[in-house]
Amino acid sequence: MTAIPEPSAAAEPKLEVVPYGGLGEFGMNMLLVTWRDTAILVDAGAMFPGPELPGVDLVIPDLGHLEERVGRLSAVVLTHGHEDHIGALPYVWPLLDGPVYGTPLTLALAGHKLAEHGFDPDERCRPLRPGDTTEIGDVALEFIRVTHSMPDCVAVALHTPAGVVVHSGDFKIDQTPIDGQALDVHRFAELGRQGVLAFFGDSTNIERPGFTGSEIDVLPGLEEVFAGAKGRIVVAAFASSLHRIRILADLAAQFDRKLAFVGRGIVQNTQIATRLGYLHLPAGLQIRDSEIGDHPARRVACVATGSQGEPLAALSRIAIDDHRHVRLEPDDVVVFSARAIPGNQRAIGRVMDHIAHRGAEVLHNDRKAVHVSGHGSAEELKLLLSLVRPRYFVPIHGEYRYLAEHARIAGRVTGGATTVLLAEDGDVIRLAPGAGRIAGRVATGRILIDGARSGVVGDEVLRHRRHLAADGVVVPVIAVNRQEGRIEGAPDVATRGVVLDGRTSDVLDAVPEWLTEVIGRASPEERSDHDLLTERVRIELQRLFRKRAGRRPLVLPVIMEV
């Protein structure tokens, strides 16, 4: 919990920042800023689960500390519309006692997500554009334009009575942006001259030297693909990569190909972007995925979801010939125009293998320049830091080694003029009164969302799923005489997912006789108590498998009283 302040400072208002996610991992970006009774949440992000979390749809930060502030969360401020910045908004919404601020596109994407959860986005969503300001209690909120891999992205400046706090959001310094809207270098420099108390800066690409390329840099590589492909072109990209989608639409029109969007997410996002004027498609260019078969393969280009190898995404189903409307042929080309999120490489490789089995050509950024990052590399991070010239700097967005490297480079850039605070999720960063410091911790963690993103996965459920995935399930079915407490007939044993090698087969053969002995040794009280007998059978059978077969299956006894 928050450290107890010194008596001399107890009555003074405190400016504190608590990261709930994004400092120690990629994703779940969420930062709480508090001044007096004003509590502002900057971003409400989620993270997609890795293979170690079977059956989990989404991971969000633990909101326990926020729940203690019900009625005090004054506003949510969204920097842009990527899932790792808006995905947890429906779970924050019930804890909100004020508006949600974002740019029009960001709020449209977030609003669709809120509506899916049964919330009315018009109730509290308030659009702001870059350069706009508004008041939240004693804090003035300012949006500053930045460039990223999608339109309508901003950094946030919070003008508090204790000083200005700047949050970079996700950014790169793209000098030839697709939409012509460049990062507002002048405003960052002006804030730096006026004085910035603290700067929270994106660390995603700190390990990449130099400068990140412009979004337009993918055009030559993709143009080569369109010029050379004899069959259908399928491009896998993030559903929110609207700049990339715009380039692909222009190329499809240039090379006389119809354009189809394949996958629920990409269809939804392009519809929203088109409605708001962020995406313009020439008349007659777009076709539905159900119409793909009506056109020659050489006259069709598809943009599909599934660049990360997600099993149920459109590209994964296309790769195994399981999609209703898209089938790959030997002359087709499949392009992965997205970075591989750490942990997804194996799943992506499997999808690529399936595509190769269909005879289609697979292209990715290692073979051709078909992707560029949306995050600034080291020199861009240094440049923005030198413009802002904060009193305190806190690296955000990334695993700890990225934050540590950003902290090291920041110390070198500022020559010691800036104090670097290297924080993690849950640290209470006190910026005022007194010197900036880590003043304590609050409880943080992760909440696992299951199925249709409607249920929370607890530790026990996750442990059971891991057992099922690794060692399968064993279901002993036992009939017990209710009056005498003895087994009637031989127990039956069913298994699912259990590897049947020599050791496990021997154990399974011995289980019926062994169960008879276990129940025979049980006390009369245990044999007459269904729950006690069930638990005894479960524990003893798990011990038998562990000792004799080295396995840990999930054991689910079924005891029938006759």
Give the H or E element holding residue 527.
helix 524-528
Supply φ then ψ for residue 469, to 5 degrees.
-65, -35
Can you tell me the distance from the alpha carbon of 59 to that of 61, in angstroms, rounded to the nearest whole number? 7
Tell me which of 202, 289, 450, 471 is the catalytic residue: 202
Token pair, residue 48, equals 């997609």
Residue 525 CA from chain centroid, whole number: 51
Handedness of CA 205, 209, 215, 221 (dihedral sign): negative
Question: Within a 13 Å sphere around the CA of 545, how many CA atoms are in the beta-carbon half?
Answer: 25
Token pair, residue 301, equals 């280009």
Tell me which of 167, 375, 406, 467 is the catalytic residue: 375
Query: Residues 336, 363: contact at Cβ < 8 Å?
Result: yes
Question: Within a 13 Å sphere around the CA of 342, how many CA atoms are in the beta-carbon half?
Answer: 6
Supply φ then ψ for residue 473, to 5 degrees.
-130, 140
For every residue of 438-504, DSSP letters joined together read: EEEE----EEEEEHHHHEEEPHHHHHHHHHHHHH-EEEEEEEE-TTT--B-S--EEEEES---SHHH
Token pair, residue 430, equals 């006190």
Other CB atoms within 10 A of residue 71 CB: 11
- Would you call 186 a catalytic residue per the annotation? no
Smallest Cα–Cα separation from 296: which of 322, 247, 331? 331
Smallest Cα–Cα separation from 464: which of 451, 454, 473? 473
Which residues fall within 8 angstroms of residue 13, CB to CB, at 6 or more apart?
35, 36, 161, 162, 432, 433
- Would you call 202 a catalytic residue per the annotation? yes
DSSP-H helix ranges across 152-263 = 185-194, 219-228, 242-254
Can you tell me the distance from the alpha carbon of 444 to that of 64, in angstroms, rounded to the nearest whole number? 8
Supply φ then ψ for residue 523, to 5 degrees.
-70, 160
For every residue of 305-374, DSSP letters joined together read: S-TT--TTSHHHHHHTT--SS----TT-EEEE-S---TT-HHHHHHHHHHHHHTT-EEE-TTTS-----S
Residue 404 CA from chain centroid, whole number: 22
Token pair, residue 528, equals 């007459």
- Give the residue numbers marked as catalytic: 202, 375
